[in-house]
Amino acid sequence: MLKRDLAIAPVGEALLILVVGAVGWAAHQPLVFASLGPTAYELIETPHRRSAEPYSIIAGHLAGVGAAWLALLLTHAWSAPPVSSAGVPLVRVGCAAVASATTVLANMLLRASQPAAIATALLIALGLMPRPLDAAVIVCGVLLMTLVGEPLRRLRLRTPELRTGPARES
């Protein structure tokens, strides 16, 4: 790990969250959600990985949204209360499992390595962002994160140590 990474990585990731959050605040929409955190991390901290490339980010998260909606349909979890501190409806657990498996399968078939897509699927399957408007907000957040993050990812790739991945310390 390079000493400059101790400043660049946290600042870059915070900048991505700040920009997306500020646009969401201005638009009165929750454009920042849990699965964007790992996506920001991938863009800045691991820019050499396939999962940080725009195709993987966009296709992966879209697959997560589609998989979650399919899981809601297959498990009939539409009207079940969301998972919360008050309880965990069993139908939501089943929906989350189906959404997760389907997200992984879709990502594999699309060759869109995107681990954060499972978190996106869980937001919907667990009832935290279940409406069609929520799906649109998720897609907008992912697109904005990719649009702002791709130039930063390319800038990070100019660092020789990050082109192939950070060297491991012994």
The confidence score (pLDDT) of residue 164 equals 56
The full set of domain ranges for the chain reads 5-163
Confidence tier at 170 by pLDDT (50, 70, 90): very low
For residue range 50-100, what is the model confidence (pLDDT) as tens digits? 999 999 999 999 999 999 999 999 999 999 999 987 799 999 999 999 999
Calculate what percentage of the chain has a pLDDT beyond 90.
Answer: 81
pLDDT of 29: 94
User: Region 106-111: what's the mean pLDDT?
Assistant: 97
Higher pLDDT, 6 or 73: 73
Q: What is the mean pLDDT of the chain?
A: 91
pLDDT per residue as tens digits for the range 126-152: 999 989 999 999 999 999 999 999 999
pLDDT at 169: 40
Q: How far apart are the first and last CA of the chain?
A: 11
Q: Model's pTM, two decimal places?
A: 0.88
Three-state SS for the chain is CCCCHHHHHHHHHHHHHHHHHHHHHHHCCCCCCCCHHHHHHHHHHCCCCHHHCHHHHHHHHHHHHHHHHHHHHHHCCCCCCCCECCECCHHHHHHHHHHHHHHHHHHHHHCCCCCHHHHHHHHHHCCCCCCHHHHHHHHHHHHHHHHHHHHHHHHHHCCHHHHCCCCCCC
Per-residue confidence (pLDDT) for residue 77, from 0 to 100: 94
Question: Among 70, 69, 93, which residue's Cα sits nearest to residue 82?
Answer: 93
- Residue 123: pLDDT band (50, 70, 90) is very high
Confidence at 7, pLDDT banded by 50, 70, 90:
confident
